[in-house]
Chain A
Amino acid sequence: MTYRGTAYVSGYGNTRVCLQAGVGKSTVDDTVWFFGKTFAFDSSGAYCDGPRTLPAGWLGITVDAYKNGAFCGTSYYRYSSSAASTVGYYFYGLCSNPAGTQEFYSVAWGKIYTGDHYYQPNGIVSPSQNY
């Protein structure tokens, strides 16, 4: 998890946004999945520490998928459906994984509602995975 930015959230004050991105593979059928997660933290402690619960819909996440440096596509946005300090999203199906070895990456983009708009800091790149 990595700190990505701070937003002033109405009613809550400065809120830190941390992101996580990952790539994995199904052991059943070798399908590659992509993963991203947004976290909200208060700004009093260390970075990415001290979860801050925000109302439903205030946190969002979307994930881009890459294979061998080519663009497979972008997931839907997922928004927190209840009061939460984090929201995550797995998806698969946009990047094929044929025989041989491919290098996969995901890039996760988080959103946090500030009271009048969504703030979206820079995305975070996952570690590469060769499948």
Chain B
Amino acid sequence: MLSRLRTRGTKWVVGLAAAASVGLILGVGTILAGPTRGPIPPEAFRGSGGEIDRSLVPDFIPALSPDGEVVGWVSKDLAVPEADSAARDVIPVYADDLQTIVGHMVRGHGFVPAGVDLRPLLDAIPTPPLPDLTH
């Protein structure tokens, strides 16, 4: 009887250890795989109700210069925001390492390479008129 219990206990321990190992491997694998990147697939633009299906959008998507050159990557969170998100006047553009900033997507201007003074461009962004509250 005691020996049978010991055998069962051993099986449980081995099973748990195996499950933990698989979980650890999967978790590490996900971390090592890193963020997804690539163009937004056409089906993501055809979500229900005319919204972008953000679940189909990679973590980083290519950014284009006004002449069509791929200049780097922009994050999904900033380029494809959710409702009521903050203003996106400046979006960093990253190199292939997804860490080095090679420029910015500036509202109304498109891609601006790193090193260019953004202040004049940002100053040119129209601000909302003071809403008329005397209705």
Contacts and interface: CB of A to CB of B under 8 A. Distances in A.
Contact of B68 (A5, A67, A107): A67
Interface in B71-113: 74, 79, 82-85, 88, 91, 105-111
Contact of B131 (A58, A69, A72, A93): A58
B105 A93 contact: no
B68 A122 contact: no
A128 B126 CA distance: 29
Contacts of A72: 64, 66, 110
A76 B64 contact: no
Interface residues of A, number: 46
Given A95-B64, A120-B84, A75 B107 contact: yes
Interface residues of B, number: 46
Interface of B: 38-42, 44-47, 49-52, 61-64, 66-68, 70, 74, 79, 82-85, 88, 91, 105-111, 125-126, 128-135
Interface of A: 2, 5, 11, 21, 54-58, 60, 62, 64, 66-79, 81, 93-96, 98, 103, 105, 107, 113, 115, 118-125, 128
